[in-house]
Structure 1
Amino acid sequence: MTMPFYELDWRTMSQQERDLGLNNGVAVPASAEVVAGWDKRSAQMRAGHSSHLDLRYGPRERNRIDFLKAGDGGPTLLFIHGGYWQTRAKETFTVFADGLMAHGVNVALIGYTLAPDATLDEIVAEIHRGLDFLTARLPELGGDANRIVVSGWSAGGHLTSMALSHPGVKAGMAISGIYDLEPIRHSYLNVKLGLDEAMSRRNSPMMQAGNVPKPLSLVVGSAELPLLRKQTADFAGHRAKHGLPVTYEEIPGANHFSIMEELMSPTGRITTLVRQLFERV
């Protein structure tokens, strides 16, 4: 009998079990083809929305934001890409602006320096610096600086939760994120990340008792790796325990990659949840 995901304890796993339990590429064999499709569609979309691409918010090469305008004075979603803080780029994810732009929501996509060229402390700081830039520039770009929701997928889900403390952010939507970095620190992923215990703990939302009392929606796919399902469920419980506004939902049948279809579509479940967040703020 398979152990329910919520009873898993990464500490009791072997190194191999832990590594495989976090490896989404192995878990979804077709993931490379899926991401290649994202790249192709995103390139087409960038070509059609080229007015405000690669806006520089900091000194490093990846310190750039793409802003896709849906309408004057509208709210803005800032999207943070995933890749376990060490792969991928904002350019791959432009296609996921489509669903929300159909509802008049502007979408900004932020790049950041990848590990090992940046520590996780530095990556979190870059996201906050990007939000400083975006809030200052939104009136000029045509958006409402008082209506920013941040979202991200995978490692971007973690960075979403870390960005909630920024004064310009009103709410968050974290997709298939990581909220306790200790399993990461004890896995193959730490070769490039270089987390020590102190850095892991100060960047783990699960380790923060107070956290931020802003609305946060958490989603994960029911067909994702059990350790990732547990991360999201545990963090939802953590926020509820501390009286912080949170919603938790599993997307039926979705794996770590197919879940993003629910943001790409104007009628997708994640698109709907983001719209509900904007209604609250």
Structure 2
Amino acid sequence: MSLEAEYNNRALVPDHPAVMQGWRDAAEAARAATPPLAIAYGPGPREVMDLFEAGPDAPVAVFLHGGYWQALDKDWFSGIAPAFLAHGVSLAIPSYDLCPEVRLGRILRQVRAAVEAMRARSGTRPVVFGHSAGGHMAACMLSEGRAAAAVAISGVFDLAPLISTSLNDALALDAAEAAALSPIHWPVPDGSTPGGTVLDCVVGGDESAEFLRQSRMMAELWGGRGVETRYDALPGRNHFTVLDPLFDADSALVRRIVALVKQ
């Protein structure tokens, strides 16, 4: 299979519109049941995050959404908040600007600002988890010492394979920029920095060979350098249904993230 086909998740999962509509429906229900607090972390219209608060002193996690840095926003993913609130964990979900209106490096700077805003609010580094592009950025936040731990779901950790695909029409990456923004080339968190040293790489067992390779490679690479890593391919899950466990307070994935938050 070509790289174009390996990374075109919407084409690989023909029923993705139905799955995404489920995200929308769950998000609307969650926002109606527990209206979030909107927090601006920058001056731009998309530099806003929703905070679903479990209590004034509750520990917090930050979820970074996917969309290949060129689609979606925070409002799609409010539906995962109830599962964390049920465990007494607050959840922040930021939006950010999208390519091609901004460069990917600009998005990373926005995510840094959002994570730092939650750190300033709570007084501790949050656990950061994310999906797809958000998985990439979660690993970046861990490398920089901004996260207490990171869970990357279907992450892209080496951006070089995207250069030859149509996804790069919006990203406009060249080899140098792709290498500079790929966390496989970034310093590993090693205990000498104040952040966490735990990275979970989760991926759907039915995802493309490239997505399986990316998560396995990242776990092995950073694990070999002293990071506490896990690689977990969830049986029967594709790039979209891999998020299903986040809607279930009793799922192993939610319980794992909660445990990292509360450790």
TM-score per shorter chain, which class? over 0.9
**Please, which runs of 5 or more residues in structure 2 have no aligned partner?**
191-196
Residues 99 and 268 of structure 1 are in contact (CA less than 8 Å); yes or no, is this contact kept in structure 2?
no
Partner of 1:36: 21
Q: Determine the C-alpha separation between the residues in 2 that align with 1:23 and 1:81.
A: 17
Aligned to 1:4: none
Give the ranges of 4+ consecutive aligned residues of structure 1 lying more than 4 Å apart after TM superposition: none
- The CA deviation at 1:49 is 2.4
Query: For the structure 1 residues 174 and 184, does the alpha-carbon distance in structure 2 shift closer, same or farther, using more than 3 Å as the test?
Result: same
1:277 pairs, out of 232, 245, 260, with 260
3-state secondary structure, aligned to 1:86: coil
**In the alignment, is the contact (CA less than 8 A) between 1:160 and 1:173 conserved in 2?**
yes
Cα–Cα, structure 1 residues 168 and 241, in superposed 2: closer, same or farther, change >3 Å?
closer
CA contact (8 A) 2:30 2:81 kept: no
CA deviation after TM superposition for structure 1 residue 167, in Å: 4.4
SS for the counterpart of 1:164 is helix
> Aligned partner of 1:22: which letter?
Y
**CA offset at residue 47 of structure 1?**
2.3
CA contact (8 A) 1:147 1:278 kept: no
CA drift of 1:269 comes to 2.0
CA contact (8 A) 2:199 2:219 kept: no
**Same amino acid, percent of matched pairs:** 32
2:217 equivalent in structure 1: 234
2:147 corresponds, among 146, 150, 169, to 169
Q: Summarize deviations over 1:123-162 as a string: whole Å, max 9, x none.
A: 1111001122222233xxxxxx325100100110001111
Shift of 1:188: 0.9
Q: Counterpart in 1 of 2:193?
A: none
Q: Secondary structure at 2:18's aligned position in 1?
A: helix
- 2:49 corresponds to: 65
- Give the match for residue 167 of structure 2: 189
Residue 202 (structure 1) aligns with = 180
**Cα–Cα, structure 1 residues 253 and 120, in superposed 2: closer, same or farther, change >3 Å?**
same
CA distance in 2, matches of 1:156, 1:136: 21
Query: For residue 255 of structure 2, what is the amino acid of its counterpart?
Result: T
Secondary structure of the residue that 2:45 maps to in structure 1? Answer: coil
Measure the CA separation in 1 of the matches of 2:35 and 2:86.
18
Q: State the structure with more CA Rg.
A: 1
In the alignment of these two chains, the number of paired residues is 257
User: Unmatched 5+ residue regions in structure 1?
Assistant: 1-12, 139-144
Residue number in structure 1 paired with 2:189: 212
Q: By how many angstroms is 1:204 displaced? A: 0.6
User: Can you list the C-alpha shifts for 1:7-50, whole angstroms capped at 9, x where unaligned?
Assistant: xxxxxx7xxx2111111111111101110121122012112222
Tell me the equivalent position of 2:228: 245
